[in-house]
Amino acid sequence: MNAENELYGVVPIIPTPFTEDEEIDEAALRDLIDFAVASGIEAVCLPAYASEFYKLTDDEKLQVVRIAVSQAAGRIKIVAQSNHPSLKQAIRLAQANVAAGADVVSLAVPRIFSLPEDSLRAYLSGFLESVPDTPVLIQDFNPGGSSISVGFIRELMESHPNFKYLKLEEPLCAPKFESIIRETAGKIGLFEGWGGLYMLELVPLGIRGVMPGLAVSDILQKVFTLRNQGAHQKAFDLFEKVMPQIFFSLQNMELFHYAEKELLMARGILKNSIARKAAYIPDPSSVSYIKELNQRVLDVINDETWEIKSLETTFSKA
């Protein structure tokens, strides 16, 4: 088994379920946590971009973490996303999440406006210092440019022992991942985001895991394990079955919310695919195509030869 609080493998993002009047559906959220536990994964993350965190009030962000911790009851680790462009408010969220029982806290680098690395260093250092005894995962998604530099990552690690994990979401990132592993001597656990789209390229490099949506997490856990164990053809064969759904849904984050929740509905986990407005309203062609893509994922799950449900949940580190 992994060491306490250590993250490894697939760490999916839990979507925020809503009622018809767009209030948080606590019962549905508890069902999602139970589904994650049953899927044989070791940790989940919320509320992140794929949880519509940017549509939640700060109190609601804390609420979903408290619910997740309560429902997990130690069966699965909770990574509590504590995003806020204000350092003061991010610290408040992080400390409250730690008090609620989160195993790891996570923070997205603020990217509303372009900031020099000195400004980002002050922000991230202040956050890390505020929860010194809790492992921290830093996420960087920068549509307007490159993510934080390798030198910056090394300096942050050397100054803050609780900086344990880094999630990057960008294409053509293999050389950067290799540089980070080399410059940090593998002390920072690297996770690939963006739905796990680049995982087959990055697993052989030594990434710690991937952070996709919840609806395909059990399948991607199998892919990750197969690739890590050298069963490359089986990993590719399985990944190719679900890749069209992942690729299509990631064209737009709001489209992703719809497709993800529709798939969870198709799997019998959610009762609706409601996202808070402003939300993507798919045209009839997209609705039909998403149903087709989701059915292909269901076909994989229903194919017992993949043995998704019997996936081994104890991993050997690469």
User: Residue 43: is its pLDDT beyond 80?
Assistant: yes
Q: Is residue 50 part of a domain?
A: yes
Confidence at residue 314, expressed as pLDDT on a 0 to 100 scale: 34
Q: Which residue, 306, 216, 190, is CA-closest to 269?
A: 216
Residue 66 is part of which domain span?
A: 9-310
Average pLDDT rounded to a whole number, residues 233-244: 97
Other C-beta atoms closer than 10 Å to the C-beta of 314 total: 8
Residue scoring higher pLDDT (318 or 135): 135
Lowest-confidence pick of 16-25, 165-174, 203-212, 248-257: 165-174
User: Residue 130: is its pLDDT beyond 70?
Assistant: yes
Mean pLDDT of the chain: 93
Confidence at residue 172, expressed as pLDDT on a 0 to 100 scale: 84
Confidence at residue 304, expressed as pLDDT on a 0 to 100 scale: 55
**C-alpha angle 41/279/10, rounded to 5°?**
10
Confidence at residue 97, expressed as pLDDT on a 0 to 100 scale: 98
Q: Is residue 4 part of a domain?
A: no
Average pLDDT rounded to a whole number, residues 149-177: 94
User: Residue 133: is its pLDDT beyond 70?
Assistant: yes
Entry field: residues in the chain: 318
Confidence at residue 281, expressed as pLDDT on a 0 to 100 scale: 95
pLDDT band per the 50, 70, 90 thresholds, residue 308: low
Q: What is the pTM of this model?
A: 0.93
Confidence at residue 170, expressed as pLDDT on a 0 to 100 scale: 83
DSSP 302: H
Residue with tokens 């089986």: 234
Average pLDDT rounded to a whole number, residues 194-212: 96
Q: Is residue 112 part of a domain?
A: yes
Q: What is the pLDDT of residues 103-128, one digit of tens each?
A: 999 999 999 999 999 999 999 999 99
Q: Which residue, 138, 87, 142, is CA-closest to 113?
A: 142
Hey, what are 282's tokens? 């798919």
Helix (H/G/I), strand (E/B), else coil: 49: helix
Q: Is residue 304 part of a domain?
A: yes
Q: Are the C-beta atoms of 104 and 135 separated by less than 8 Å? A: yes
DSSP string, 175-211: HHHHHHHHHTTT-SEEEE-GGGTTHHHHGGGT--EE-
Q: Is residue 315 part of a domain?
A: no
Confidence at residue 185, expressed as pLDDT on a 0 to 100 scale: 96
Beta bridge partners of 80: 46, 105
Q: Are the C-beta atoms of 213 and 260 separated by less than 8 Å? A: yes
User: Residue 270: is its pLDDT beyond 60?
Assistant: yes
Q: Is 285 exposed, middle or buried (0-12, 13-18, 19+ CB in 10 A)?
A: exposed
C-alpha to C-alpha distance for 204 and 11, rounded to whole angstroms: 18
Number of domains, the chain: 1
Q: What is the pLDDT of residues 288-304, one digit of tens each?
A: 999 999 999 999 999 85
Q: Is residue 1 part of a domain?
A: no
Q: What is the pLDDT of residues 31-42, one digit of tens each?
A: 999 999 999 999
Q: Is residue 34 part of a domain?
A: yes
Identify the CATH number of the domain in which residue 57 sits: 3.20.20.70
Hey, what are 233's tokens? 């053809």
Confidence at residue 307, expressed as pLDDT on a 0 to 100 scale: 57
